[in-house]
Amino acid sequence: MAGLEAVEREALERLGAACDATAIEDVRVWALGRKAGRITGLMKSLREVPPEDRPRAGDAANRAKERVEAALDRALAERAERSTALPPIDVTLAGRRAPLGSLHPLTRVRRDIEQIFVSLGFRIAEGPEIEDEHHNFEALNTPADHPARDMQDTFYLGGEFLLRTHTSPVQIRLMEAERPPIRAIMPGRVFRRDSDATHSPMFHQVEGLLVDHRVSMADLKGTLVAFLRAFFGADTRARFRPSFFPFTEPSAEVDIGCVLCGGAGCRLCKGSGWLEVLGCGMVDPAVFQSVGYDPELVTGYAFGMGVERLTMLRYAIDDMRLLFENDHRFLEQF
Amino acid sequence: MKLTYRWIREWVATELTPVELAERLTMAGLEVERLEALGHGLADIRVARVRSTRKHPQADRLTLCEVEDGTGLIPVVCGAPNVRDGAFVALAPVGATLPNGTQIRKAKLRGEVSEGMLLSEAELGLSSNHDGLLLLDGEPAPGRPLVEALGLDDWVLDISLTPNRSDCLGVLGIAREVAALTGAALTPPAIALVESGVAAAEAVRVEIEDVAGCSRYAARVVRGVRVGPSPAAVRWRLAAVGIRSISNVVDATNLVLLELGHPLHAFDLARVEGGRAVVRRARAGETLLTLDGVDRTLTAEDLIIANARAAMAFAGIMGGEVSGVHDDTVDLLLESAHFDPITIRRSARRHGLHTEASHRFERGTDPVGLGTALDRLAQRIVELAGGAVAPGVVEAVARPHVPQRIRFRPERARAVLGTTISDEACVGALDAIGIAVDPATFEATVPPWRPDITREVDLIEEVARIAGYDQIPAETADGVVLAGAGPGAAAGAQRVELARDVLAGQGYREIVRLAFTSPEVVARFDYPDGRAEPVRIANPLGEDTSVLATTLVSGLVETARAQLNRGATAVRLFQVARTHRRAGGKWPFREIESVAALGGGAQGRGAFPESTRDCDFFDLKGTLEILLERTGIKGVAFRPAADLQYAEPGRAGEIWCDDRKVGELIMLSRRLLGQLGIGLDLYAFELDLGALTPAAPPRYRSFSRQPVALRDLALDVPAALAAVEIERELARAKWVVDVELFDVYQGEGLAPGRKSLAFHVRFQHAERALTEAEIAGALERVLGDLEASHDARRR
């Protein structure tokens, strides 16, 4: 039927422009009004269509009418919804928040270290902070008259008791209590009688110990390189330098390529391009003898690191004292 | 220990640059902590020659000079008394910067123009001598950089030596390492002594009375020395490595100490009374005036060198003032000995004397090489101070050196190191550092300068060190060890970690404080009872850090105070750490795994009224309840606490578990906070996590899926009645599954002495829906009971 499509299109266009109920009603009257409605008019003119075409034309006109009616109903319903909607809000207002807590950066880094070693099959062992000379020194091949005692200034508590200077006594306690294989890390607080910008009288260590048949320095290197890459990133370079600890032999210090300059030399690495991050070595036979292990039958490695050092490197903290001052402007950054 | 690059190169023919040398040494376990260009700060200083001098017309002390600086003559005003025509001096021209940072500018001094400054040793940073200008020896070309003219174009290596490497406490030891690492030849200076005069044995006898303290004592006599200042080159070499120049004789002992690593001593022969030098223990109470000017009272354990009458020197630690070298000394007795490390270490510690000598003897010295050191010293003294070496060495040997022999198993080295290094490579590495290995038996003979090598593992370390740690592959153990063996000690640790997570999740910030505190703080904040003694440190850093903290709350308050002083308006903090107390028994300490939290002020942010509410007692209690629930701890009860000096009266609770007090929940005393300058109300709890046993993991119980009916109930009750009484009775009523107090009211509409409590009461049947009538009936019955038992009436 001539004009039906055009009328329907115009009705829908007018409806699209209608912004309130009155305008929608106007569209209804325009299209479907009893007297002057355009679609109504077209339906009336069906009588002029030849009888053989009439059913098809009537059908088309009815469907167009239904579509326009449905569109009108939809528009009205939407309109009604809009009129009962909630007033708008300022979505840029700050959210209502419960107070934000946080873990201390030392806790976060210690957990990262622990997690890496636990995933390598190490378990976590703990021991007392107050120790005796036997566990802290003698069993670790550091007799009273050895110059190596000077490496660690000690807080004494009277008699044989002292604040542990490292978490190594936990290694002794573990070996005294168990037979190999042993594969554990020992996190904890340690104490040294030393206090300045780069030394705190209390700090945190994570040490590790692995004892079994046929453990070699190559295993030690492999484990620590795996740790350093997990902690500092997959492209971390590491180097092992000979060093001395009374309780390991051979002993090594481990450097990583400077995290700040990448090895070119800067203030952080004092121009060397390397940062010392770990001490380690093969467990000294004298240590095994002190816990009743036969050094011909078992070998092992041990390592230790300062949590403060790794924390400072991870978060680019340039003054260790910040870690113990608990300034809110510092803690709020973690 | 500091040495210079040129000095090392005099002893080993290495072509390595200073940077390369430092790198090689570091990678061999001799860590070069710092490498410094020696002439640092002197780049602008030039040699100049004074061409004319005349008095300043306006000032007696000043001299007007014309100096030749290589390009021409420039006028310089100089205040030094020793300036003279023709002298070669150090000139800082206009624009130069001195080592202390001073900038030289063109100046007018009392009307006379000065275009530079002539410098003293002190101004050059070479020594503390500022008595006059530095006068250069010879005829260096004016205009030449001073560092070149003085041989200061050198580098100082500051080497951090581990305690086992006593052999490297001198140039020779470092040179040996360089030779072993690079294959360069050792080039030690030849020692050629010309002996003359009366034999040394005629002048002196040496005796070792204490065999345990000294294994060998050797001495030489040098007669006719002239004690005086050392030549500039010697003084600057010593200054470069941080040693003060004293006199030519003393400087010679220090030079040889630094070269060979062996401590030596020079006595004034005239003071060796009776011609005897005896090594013996001191008599208790015997005194000795040491070179540092301290009159020391010795003990019977101290080892000394005595003459026929009295103590002359503190063996291996420090010489005596009287027997030492003085300006008028002519004849010398030179000592080179081997003392027992433990004896020296104990004496040095007892007297608080740490010297270059004691440092080396403590770590072990070369009992054979001491003879070479003695000869070298005699040679250097003659070179620097003149005199003649008397024929012969006077010597006492208590225990001859027996070389250490150790069986070395290359297969063991390969097993420990995890490498495939060959037998030959092992032997070659050991041979390079002077350890001879018999190719048939693999028996190693350790040279006398390596007292640290006593076991096979020491040899294995040397093999690894010389071959290079980078030759060891990095492998991970291939199933050698079973991974992840059980939780073990970690169960407790897990609970502590969970506590951290819960408190951080509840909006508290974790702090880390040192474990130390002051006795006053402990007295103020003791927990859980004041009877247990704190742990005292015998050698604290200070009185305010002399005990271990017995509570965490005290530290939290301290941190809160610091934060509030720095501008924080609210605090929400927690700490998890061990606290310490004295206890009875064989191990007289108790370590408590403690957790504590503290809050005060309004923490919220933003434009919401509820966020400005101040934290109160029940905020902390709610946090504590959540902490207990999340850590799986059940059966905790709260009881009002008796008066606590640090808590506000009537606002403190004790936390009990299984008939044990395990903590406190308090409002901090306003009086105490006032004393600390804190104007904010603070609330805190502290809990002994170690004393709490976590409940078993939860077990699922089936729950009713039937509808829940809610009824609100307002009750008019006596004002003194605790709400919990009504709550309990309501909870016992038929079909009641939950009771929640939602309002407490007192005032208008109620009789005096009465209050209103409003509850939400929820009813539910396990298997079916309840009818209206059933609920009404149940409510009716419980209301009747409440009226009878508690005088409660429905409003």
Residue type at B18 in one-letter notation:
P
Q: Return left, alpha or beta for B117; rule: phi > 0 is left, psi -120 to 50 is alpha, else beta.
A: beta
Q: How confident is the model at residue B485 (pLDDT cuts 50, 70, 90)?
A: very low
Q: What is the mean pLDDT of residues B133-145?
A: 88
pLDDT reported for residue B484? 40
Share of chain A above pLDDT 90, in %: 57
How far, in Å, CA of B472 to CA of A219, rounded? 10
Nearest to B475 among A101, A222, A327 (CB): A222
User: In the numeric block, which tokens belong to residue A270?
Assistant: 């004092």
pLDDT for B476 beyond 70: no
Whether B477 has a pLDDT exceeding 70, the answer reads no
Q: How far is B610 from chain A (nearest CA, A)?
A: 10
pLDDT at A170: 95
Distance CA A113, CA A106 (A): 11
pLDDT of residue B478 exceeding 50: no
- For residue A271, the number of C-alpha atoms closer than 13 Å in the C-beta half-sphere is 8
The rounded distance, in Å, linking the Cα atoms of A1 and B195 is 141
d(CA B653, CA B662): 11
Proportion of chain B above pLDDT 70, given as a percent: 96
| Partner-chain contact A124 B490, CB within 8 Å | yes
Q: Considering only residues B525 and B596, tell me which one the structure prediction assigns the higher pLDDT.
A: B596
- Residue A123 and residue B497: Cβ atoms within 8 Å? no
- What residues of B are in contact with residue A217 (Cβ under 8 Å)? 416-419, 464, 472
Task: Give alpha helix (H) positions in B582-653.
Answer: 617-630
| Mean pLDDT for chain B overall | 91
Give Dmax over CA atoms of chain A in angstroms: 125
Q: Which residues does chain B have within 8 Å of residue A202's beta carbon, measured at their own beta carbons? A: 514-516
Residue B92 has pLDDT above 50, yes or no: yes
* Residue B145 DSSP label: B
Q: Residue B93 CA to chain centroid, in angstroms?
A: 44
> Is the CB of residue B583 less than 8 Å from the CB of residue B548?
no
Closest C-alpha among B278, B280, B509, B328 to residue A101? B509
**Position B490 confidence tier, pLDDT thresholds 50, 70, 90:** low
Query: What DSSP character marks residue A45?
Result: G
- State the pLDDT at residue B446: 97
Residue among B34, B363, B476 minimizing CB distance to A226: B476
Q: At B482, is the pLDDT very low, low, confident or very high (cuts 50, 70, 90)? A: very low
Q: What is the pLDDT of residue B605?
A: 67
Report angle CA B344, B345, B347 to the nearest 5 degrees. Answer: 65
Q: Distance between CA atoms of B717 and B548, rounded to whole angstroms?
A: 51
Of the pLDDT bands very low, low, confident and very high (cuts 50, 70, 90), residue A245 is very high
Q: Which residues, other chains included, contact B674 with Cβ-Cβ below 8 Å and sequence gap of 6+?
A: none
Does position B690 have pLDDT exceeding 90, yes or no?
no
- pLDDT confidence tier of residue B411, bands split at 50, 70 and 90: very high
Taking 50 as the threshold, does the pLDDT of residue B541 lie above it? yes
pLDDT in tens, B608-626: 766 678 899 999 999 999 9
Establish, for the pair of chains A and B, how many residue pairs have beta carbons separated by less than 8 Å. Answer: 255
Could you tell me the pLDDT band of residue A105, with boundaries at 50, 70 and 90? very high
Please give, rounded to a whole number of angstroms, the shortest distance from the CA of A309 to a CA of chain B.
15
- Asked whether B690 and B492 are in contact (CB, 8 A), the reply is yes
* DSSP label of A92: T
Contact B474 A214 (CB under 8 A): no
CA distance B531 to B513: 24
pLDDT of B364 > 80? The answer is yes
Query: B516 at the A interface (CB within 8 A)?
Result: yes
Using a CB–CB cutoff of 8 Å, tell me whether B611 touches chain A: yes
Predicted TM-score (pTM) of the model is 0.81
Please determine, for residue B488, whether its predicted confidence score (pLDDT) is greater than 70.
no
3-state SS, B287-338, equals EEEECCCCEEECCCCCEEEECCCCEEEECCCEEECCCCCCCCCCCEEEEEEE
In angstroms, what separates the C-alpha of B28 from chain A's closest C-alpha? Answer: 6
pLDDT value, residue B527: 54
Collect all residues of chain A within an 8 Å Cβ-Cβ radius of residue B573. 326
Q: Please list, in sequence order, all residues whose beta carbon lies within 8 angstroms of the beta carbon of residue B288, skipping any fewer than 6 positions away.
A: B282, B295, B296, B298, B304, B311, B312, B313, B314, B320
pLDDT at A95 over 90: no
Confidence class for position B530, pLDDT limits 50, 70, 90 = low
pLDDT confidence of residue B481: 38
Q: What is the pLDDT of residue B489?
A: 44
State both tokens at B616: 């109160």
ipTM: 0.81
The torsion region of residue B26 among left (phi > 0), alpha (psi -120 to 50) and beta comes to alpha
The answer to whether A99 contacts B572, with C-beta atoms less than 8 Å apart, is: yes
pLDDT at B487: 38
Question: Mutation test of the interface with chain B: which of A115, A132, A155, A199, choosing the one with the most B Cβ atoms within 10 A?
Answer: A155
Q: Which of B464, B510, B573 sits opposite A250 (nearest CB)?
A: B464
Using the beta-carbon criterion (under 8 Å), do A126 and B455 form an inter-chain contact? no
* Residue reference for tokens 């709550």: B727
Confidence of residue B435 (pLDDT cuts 50, 70, 90): very high
Contacting residues for B284 by C-beta, under 8 A, at least 6 apart: B298, B299, B300
Please state, in angstroms and rounded to a whole number, the distance separating the CA atoms of residues A125 and A175: 11
Nearest to B90 by CA among B61, B54, B126: B126
Lowest mean pLDDT across A60-64, A182-186, B89-93: A60-64
pLDDT at B486 over 50: no
Instruction: Using the predicted structure, report yes or no on whether residue B419 has a pLDDT greater than 90.
Output: yes
The pLDDT of residue B37: 86
Lowest-pLDDT choice from A54-63, B461-470, B678-687: A54-63
Cα–Cα distance for residue pair B490/A125, rounded to 1 Å = 6
State residue B59's pLDDT score. 85
